[in-house]
Structure 1
Amino acid sequence: MLKKVLLLLLLPFLGHSQMVGVNLDKIIAKVDNYYILRSEVEQLLVRSQQQGQALDKCQALESLAVQKLLVAKAEIDSVIVEPVMVENQLDARMAEMVRIYGNEQNIVEQFNKSLEALKSEVRKQVSEQLTAQQMQETITEGLTVTPYEVKKFINAIPKDSLPTIPSEVEVGQLVRLAKLTVAQKGDLILKLNDIKKRIQAGEKFEELAEEFSEDQGSKTYGGDLGWAKRGQMVPQFEATAMKLKPNELSDVVESDFGFHLIQLLELRGQEYHARHILLRPEYSRLDMTDATNFLDSLRNFIVMDSIKFENAVAQFSEDDATQYTGGSLTDPNTGSYKMALDLSMEPNLYFTVDTMKVGSVTKPLPYRSPDGKTGMRLLYLKKKYSPHTININDDYEKIREFALMNKRNVEIEKWFGDAIKEVYIKIDPDYNVCRLFEQ
């Protein structure tokens, strides 16, 4: 059972299913100084069902125990996940919830809690899972598979046991973002200039950052971004920060992330230490008219074959992640351009693509970027692949990933053999039927 539950550590977390409430909660296991609650097991069962995994309560418990064991050993071995990584993951998941529920107010009404309260509930859980993943990467660092190992792996599977690959699609998008009006931009600049005056009058930068900044990853730390190397930050931010003198405040700077007030703290060669206060526009209130009209006209040229979709993307798309790949979307789990055409896909995308013919282009559709920006997009169905039995000619990359995952699991199983001897584990009598960590 251990090999199977190792895979469960890769299940997405902080989805809306994790907010499922339970009437009675209790501690059902202790791994070193970490506890497992009954609610955690029940939530993992729900989440695994949504991901198409067939789990029972013992498998869910073992998956969580494995995670706690990894976290406990990470603490012993000083494997650390930076707080900013946790906050960024939380922000990404909350943005996903906004996409699912439509807006932040709908989330608040659904769970009867503020967004900060919801994030507070799962911050520790996210931190633990990121730490467990970091520990796994540390254990398996440097592992690779050769083409020979890939072939050996797939040939070892009986032909009647080979999995079926579901329908897959390659989809492109062309994005136009809603633009700020001069008045909206002016309001943000005015607000940041007022904050700058308050700092110059003696108020503390870090306190105002905690109060006003919309960079959730840094506001908790008074806007502190830590040390950054040249080329690490967006150009507009970096160019301004590196021109400042220590403790000097910048004028308002606009970047793709919003509007910044920057203070340089230290400069060390090609590295700098800065903090900022970020304000972002209310993207949900921006006017979509210009973006819609632009895409309507551009779609006509694409449909008439006056311009190829990929060329239109390169010239006109405002999505940095896909502009130079012909607009191609990727599977968030594998990074492949082939995406499974099923409910694991983003719902709005799935229900649109499922009705499209290869080569067709949609009319402009509402779009929300991973960082919360709004706009419109065209979708283009490039290719569609029929369900088929997995084979090395069509699915080499998938098989390579499976083979590498199997190799990593073997390495982690060896590690567990030693690790469980060093960590105290206690299970509630109600779960004694679960024989944890069997090979």
Structure 2
Amino acid sequence: MTRENMKYNVLKAGLISATLMFSMVSHAAVQSLDKVSVIVDQGVILESEIVELVDGVKQGAIAQGQALPSDRALRTQAIERLILKNLQMQMADRMGIQISDPQLDQTIENIAQRDNIDINELRRRVEADGMTYENYREKVREELITGEVTRANVRRRIYITPQEIATLVDLINQQGAEQAEYRLGHILIALPSSATEEEITKARDTADRVVELLNNGSDFTKLAIASSSGPKALEGGDLGWMNVNSMPTLFAEAVNGEKKDALIGPLRSGAGFHILKIVDSRGVELVEVEEVNARHILIKPSIILSDQKAEQMLLKFKADLIEGEADFAKLAKEHSEDPGSALKGGVLGWNDPSIYVPEFKEALSRLEKDEFSEPIRTTHGWHLIQLIDRRMDDATEKRKEDRAYQLLFNRKFSEETDTWLREMRDAAYIELLDKKDL
């Protein structure tokens, strides 16, 4: 399909949508009719989506006492975020990634439990913030979907060598009982995938001007929102607390030995020029970590097997196991759809619970030794879990290697996510229809 045909089809769909909307509003509301503001491959971004995101950022900034850049700069950042989300949602459609209502309900229940409130109180807080509960549910669903898309595409780009693990284990041993953590502010002046010398020079000059403004007392949060192309631009560039071993290598080397409020950069990478601010720092004492050994049976709903039937199937398994009429290992080998554990009788081995998806981790935390869970729904399907045992990790060499692998994975996942998003953005057909956005 040519770009002209693509644009025609998308605009045609937008006009049909607008016609349907027109039939449902009064004549007095015609002036506020929604419109298509951006074409994103086979999708569109509506003006209402941009306005909603900008207004949300403004409200959050006001509540936290943060300074804001111009409306134009804020709008540009909002459009970029919506473009990436739109592209991820389109990819999710192509990959067949969906989040069912039961899975969404479970996630929202976990959010409420994490905040020590019930669902009714969560609903009240959402509506007090000016959002309908239905809209909140769909936003959570979108976050789950984009997270799945990102993990599926980025995970296969990551390779960690034994030498990398050994090197990091040596570093952990050298650092002893304390690990440095930094809360970083981040501004990225981005470069295209194949930047020309002129583009590189222009980006470097922009980065130098930003550093100059910061050294002269300009607000970091405001400049990040206005100037950064980083994933946390709309949050004022706040990357949160990061272990020195889990942040990108470029950052880890640059912040080593620096103190609170230090400005670092510009630092050049494939993504562009980075400017960092150490908002805060702290030492982290290494302590024993609880590990769990568990086994599970995974049933994946399908066109043939509904969510309800999958849950009922596991309830029947649980009843049979309690009555002593079934063997867990045999059930797992015959029915579990987790290829990594089914042949082992469902056994997952000793692991830090944090490696599991939140719903699975939460279920494990409530189990006593040898106890069976109720069937739980995660992004992978329905699980029946049995806790085999718990133990405190004694920081053996194997544990250090596992920790090193996870730190390296987190570091590379962060780096590869930025690269993947940039490549996807560069390959997409994007057209801004509103002249003020050009």
TM-score (norm 1): 0.38
Higher relative contact order (CA 8 A, sep 6+): 1
